[in-house]
Amino acid sequence: MTGSIYNFSAGPAVLPKEVLQQAAAEMLDWHGSGMSVMEMSHRGAEYMSIIAAAQSDLRELLAVPANYKILFMQGGAIAENAIVPMNLAGLKPQPATADYINTGSWSTKSLKEAAKYLNVNVAASSEADKFATIPARAGWKLSKDAAYVHICTNETIDGIEYQFVPEVGADTNGAPLVADMSSQILSRVIDVSQYGVIYGGAQKNIGPAGLTIVIVREDLLGHALPCCPSAFNWKTVADNDSMFNTPPTYAIYIAGLVFQWLKRQGGVAAMEQRNIAKAALLYDYLDSSDFYVNRINKDNRSRMNVPFFLHDETLNSAFLAEARERGLLQLKGHKSVGGMRASIYNAMPVEGVQALVKFMQEFAAKNS
């Protein structure tokens, strides 16, 4: 490999270099404690200060209202696919129903898992058009008395992103909007109060795998089904300040460093402007090229995950091999859709996208 290295992995994903350098410097001795964070008791004063700062910084970055709890959990978004219905089905008489909007691979997984715990109504789906769009809100067939309405705001595999927040309460007698934001959180400004629950795995824009973030409105706590394990009961976790069981301590520490890094960059609003610019750079080139193609409706394209295909797919292996030689890593698309995918999360600098576009231009010129 030559030159700078840029990691376009969809997750676990690139972390800010400053964060990795700080973690390396603190690895053997955190702030003169004589301990690595990996070795600390999660109930000791040192670690308690770390998790408190992480929670406070995340609340500040997202302007989380006071009537919302921030939970640090485990199991990733896939576990939350079960934890969400186990915690919210009790909002309604049994058997409860939840509405799901199916916009790609991850929302498909979510609704299939939820069906183990309640009735699932697929209120809208873009599967028929191969998940190239988000169904227009006017066409959603929502239940009149749903326990909640679930969306995945950014489909990591398919490259679909909501550019709007759907209003759902008026059609569902006030059902809360639940959002899997695993690959979108902290990349753009959001109004947390428009959601009842926000959740996501950390390994895209927050930190290493192992940590799950849940932001939940307080009135939605305390409705878990009897089958819900205690460690996955949001009220139990909230009542114990995310310390009911041993939390993923090192992952929370790294997340806290990322939150501090984001604040130094100017916060979420500043990151959103960078992300808009990075995505435009790549999409503008794709749209100008007849060598590559992106198949997603322009109004629904993801800023975080950009799938694209070579018109001549016999060149895929050569493209990936030469990209790697140029220091452009993890560009292979998900096995379920093929092609290529560039994930350009917060920690991906604009220089990485510029390097990718330059390589794509040169590869196209050489192989046209």
Catalytic residues: 106, 180, 204
110 backbone dihedrals φ, ψ, rounded to 5°? -60, -50
Residue carrying structure tokens 């998900």: 334
Residue type, 339: G
Nearest to 261 by CA among 63, 71, 58: 58
Segments in 151-266 forming alpha helices (H): 234-239, 249-264
Compute the half-sphere exposure of residue 340: CA atoms within 13 Å on the CB side of its CA: 29
202 backbone dihedrals φ, ψ, rounded to 5°? -80, -15
Structure tokens at 77: 């978004």
Instruction: Report the run of H or E that residue 279 belongs to, with start and end.
Output: helix 267-288
The neighbour count for residue 152, using CB atoms within 10 Å, is 31
Termini Cα distance of the chain = 24
Residue carrying structure tokens 């794709």: 286
Q: Which residues does 300 contact at the CB level (< 8 Å), separation at least 6?
A: 132, 133, 134, 160, 161, 162, 163
The neighbour count for residue 45, using CB atoms within 10 Å, is 9
Cis peptide before 12 (omega within 30 of 0): yes
